[in-house]
Amino acid sequence: VTHGQFQSTAAQLRDALVTLGFDRSQATEADLLVYITAWVAHLEKALGLTPLLVHKNRLPARLAECLNRRAEQAAQRGMRELLGSLDDPASPLTIAPEEVLVAFTPQTAYAPATPYRGRLFTKHLYPTVGEMNQPEAEVAVILDALPEVELWLRNLDRHPNSFRLPCPTHKSDWFYPDFLARLTDGRLLVLEYKGSHLEDLDQAKRQIGLAWQRAMKSQGLFLWIGDAPETAQVRSIAEQIRLGIG
């Protein structure tokens, strides 16, 4: 197999990635071509030319899988570097108080695709409340009754006006916490409820939430509550929220 044949095969695989939904903007064309050429050469050396030709139609999907896995690993490394540098004044994560991405005003568009059908709340910013499951509704009842909470909002998932935090290890690249609240002392409370069955799957969300809290200093508070033993520590949901608010 000549170098020219490798280059041609690599170019064909590169073009096939588009049909498989791979985001080619993640790498330059030159870097992508160099990587694919080396990838094909590695397969030829490891498997031999004949198996490679027999299974050539399966190569694009295998390549896309390999590249997506590498992109995810790179995102995870970048997130670890970001979270590890937050105490550094030159940290790339800087959030100013005026950039919290949520405005507690009735003028902000709020249109849940599926409204919550249940009890009425007195402190929710809008008459309509976004969909909630039973545990989330119990959290809402607690927020509505707490004297420290001035207003609260059921944050909508993947809504253009919703509060969100970058989370490249998550499938949507964004983390939309469950609830927001403006406390009577002026702080912004961001709250995420997690059932025990999801506790171990979403630790990246927890870390980026805590990173946001550190970046906001005294003006923002992130609470991660739930019924998993490590999170609850024998405390009820109401006790976890009260303790977190302080």
Write down the pLDDT at residue 244: 92
What values do phi and psi take at 122, rounded to 5? Answer: -95, -20
- 174 Cβ contact list (under 8 Å, min separation 6): 158, 164, 165, 166, 167
What pLDDT score was predicted for residue 115?
Answer: 92
Tell me the residue type at 152.
W
Residue with tokens 């049909």: 19
**Residue 42: is it exposed, middle or buried by C-beta count within 10 angstroms (0-12/13-18/19+)?**
exposed
The partner residues of 174 in beta bridges, in order of sequence, read: 166
pLDDT of residue 171: 56
Using CA atoms, how far apart are residues 132 and 134, in angstroms rounded to an integer? 7
Provide the residue-wise pLDDT of the chain in tens; the chain has 246 residues: 444 444 556 566 666 665 565 665 666 666 777 777 777 777 778 777 777 677 777 777 887 788 777 777 666 665 555 545 444 444 444 444 444 445 566 666 788 889 999 889 999 988 899 999 999 999 999 999 999 999 999 999 888 778 888 775 555 678 889 999 999 999 999 999 987 655 555 777 888 888 888 878 888 899 999 877 666 566 888 999 999 998
Q: How far is CA 28 from CA 7, 39, 179, in A?
A: 16, 16, 39
pLDDT for residue 196: 66
CA distances from residue 228 to 85, 235, 240 in whole angstroms, order as listed: 29, 10, 12
Q: Which residue has the tokens 């059908």?
A: 117
- What stretches of the chain adopt beta strand conformation (E)? 149-154, 165-166, 174-175, 179-183, 188-194, 220-226
162's torsion region: left (phi>0), alpha (psi -120 to 50) or beta?
beta
For residue 82, which of 212, 176, 179 has the smallest C-alpha distance? Answer: 212
